[in-house]
Amino acid sequence: MERKVGDLLFLWLLILVLLLHPVWLVLGNMEGDALHSLRSNLNDPNNVLQSWDPTLVNPCTWFHVTCNNDNSVIRVDLGNAALSGQLVPQLGLLKNLQYLELYSNNISGPIPSDLGNLTNLVSLDLYLNSFTGPIPDTLGKLSKLRFLRLNNNSLAGPIPMSLTNISALQVLDLSNNHLSGVVPDNGSFSLFTPISFANNLDLCGPVTGHPCPGSPPFSPPPPFVPPPPDSTPGGNSATGAIAGGVAAGAALLFAAPALAFAWWRRRKPQEFFFDVPAEEDPEVHLGQLKRFSLRELQVATDSFSNKNILGRGGFGKVYKGRLADGSLVAVKRLKEERTPGGELQFQTEVEMISMAVHRNLLRLRGFCMTPTERLLVYPYMANGSVASCLRERPPSQPPLDWPTRKRIALGSARGLSYLHDHCDPKIIHRDVKAANILLDEEFEAVVGDFGLAKLMDYKDTHVTTAVRGTIGHIAPEYLSTGKSSEKTDVFGYGIMLLELITGQRAFDLARLANDDDVMLLDWVKGLLKEKKLEMLVDPDLQNKYVEAEVEQLIQVALLCTQGTPMERPKMSEVVRMLEGDGLAERWDEWLKVEVLRQEVELSPHPNSDWIVDSTENLHAVELSGPR
């Protein structure tokens, strides 16, 4: 009897070893091989793919690659990495991939039709590259796709009708290509603006506003009838699939007890006891965020030692910590007294950061709640904040160079645009400044500190609260009325741009020593009035910058800091302007409005501003309107 039991146990273990373990190994190697094929096919002048080591079992430790708890690749972030070369069809093997971000490179060649196999894909961003050939018809199989941006390439041919089958699609941008033919219009594409198809000279149809040659006048589109489901050809394939499913199900049935026990042992938290009756708040359930014990964070921060303080804020302190697995974290400890504002901030941060996931937003790793403590755990940002790099860096650390500052400007704009346009309800940060823009190991901008953010329903036009923020960054309408909107973030972002350009603080009493304005915006406008552009630029750059690019960033900053909220651009527009799309037109439009105001003003206004004419020469003029 004992021998039979032993034989059964051996058989069960053999099934686990032969069926399950090789599957995990093969999946890990398969995804790693696919990404290594991509690396081999790309030119990488900045070595951003240096960590992509093909000898590892899976690619989850590589930079720019994100995996889920099952060690499957769900995200590849290689935007703005100066890559060239071509994509490879092996990308279609990343079956769990949700985000493929390859924008702002110089990748050429066709878009592989194998991307249609990525049925879990949520976002496909290939814009600002040099792709050629047609848009693959197979992309229509991506039923979960919400963001498709193929703009600013050299794609040709018709727009596939299959794209209209993607009912989840929220953002579509095919502009600035060489597409031709009739834009499919069965009701789906009518949701998108003509801008989505702009600058494709050979496109026509009701959606574009350009009738096709020889076509009848526009009429309402016919109702959309979904195509019938594809039938599976061949009975042998179906039989094989069923047999395979039965085999996999049997293996999983045998393995389930061991897997469940291993999962329970891994997930079950260790118990710690303190001088409080309970450590967890049963009302907080926040998905996949890790709940840390207070003891874990005490050990990580050396009992919240002063030597580990990274910064101080209105609601508490931030400590550097090292967890038991060796990873570095930043632990934000709210003030010990349980003030209503502190608890509200904790709840706001936890709820919002758990919802907002973007490469340019600070990811919340976990939290801790006890009756006396509220703590948030973030990844440690090795290069600190933009403010510290501009003004508090040690002598041994080189200053931020101009290309890095441009990347920071664009990355932080993308993060804020995501908060405003892709979160439901939208999120207003309410304290955008250089100190809240953090930098990771590669100096990629990450928008942090959502402690002052407000959730905002789309039906609301404003939120009225107590004014919070930092002097010099607060929009005038928010300061005077307490009403914040996404345009208050745009104002703060504009001031942050001026910080990036000048290296100066937004509010600095030290400027009084030179009879200058204490407010950075006024100081900048004063120097522009006197045509002293060179005095604006941070001396740490040592004249290593592109003057035309400085002027463009200043233009964006001034558009963002207009006195009237409605006149400021949206953050999504700011992103496009920084990417080289629409700044000249927006600036010319602003100039015309300002000149008109100047003409109708009965008396000159004591304040001055500056404009740039079509030749980008700086001129000082008297402008009216709020500052």
Which residues have a catalytic role annotated? Answer: 431
Rounded to the nearest 10 degrees, the angle between the axes of helix 486-502 and helix 571-578 is 30
Residues contacting residue 113 through CB under 8 Å, at least 6 positions apart: 89, 136, 137, 138
**Alpha-carbon span 432 to 493, nearest angstrom:** 6
**Alpha-carbon span 344 to 93, nearest angstrom:** 44
Q: Is the CB of residue 338 less than 8 Å from the CB of residue 372? A: yes
Q: Counting beta carbons within 10 angstroms of the beta carbon of residue 16, is it exposed (0 to 12), middle (13 to 18) or buried (19 or more)? A: middle
Q: Is the CB of residue 19 less than 8 Å from the CB of residue 251? A: yes
Residues contacting residue 159 through CB under 8 Å, at least 6 positions apart: 135, 174, 179, 181, 183, 184, 197, 203
Q: Nearest CA to 84 among 116, 115, 118, 48?
A: 48
Q: Is the CB of residue 437 less than 8 Å from the CB of residue 447? A: yes
Tokens encoding 258: 């061991």
CA distances from 355 to 121, 146, 349 (A): 18, 16, 10
SS (H, E, C) 549-586: HHHHHHHHHHHHCCCCHHHCCCHHHHHHHHCCCCHHHH
**Alpha-carbon span 483 to 468, nearest angstrom:** 11
Binding site annotation covers 332?
yes
> Rounded to the nearest 5 degrees, what angle is found at the Cα of 490, between the Cα atoms of 448 and 570?
115
For 71-97, letters b (16+ CB in 10 Å) and e give ebbbbbbbbbbebebbbbebbbbbebb
CA distances from 294 to 108, 302, 439 (A): 51, 12, 27
**Alpha-carbon span 33 to 93, nearest angstrom:** 10
**Alpha-carbon span 454 to 419, nearest angstrom:** 11
Chain-centroid distance, C-alpha 59: 22
User: What do you get for the CA distance between the two ends of the chain, in Å?
Assistant: 91
Residues 127, 128, 129, 130, CA torsion sign: positive
Q: Is-cis flag, bond preceding 425, omega within 30? A: yes
Q: Give the single-character DSSP code of 205.
A: B
For 440-478, letters b (16+ CB in 10 Å) and e give beebbbbbbbbbbbbbbeeeeebbeeeebbbebbbbbbb
CA distances from 77 to 69, 125, 438 (A): 18, 10, 18
**Alpha-carbon span 80 to 86, nearest angstrom:** 15
The binding site for ATP comprises 332
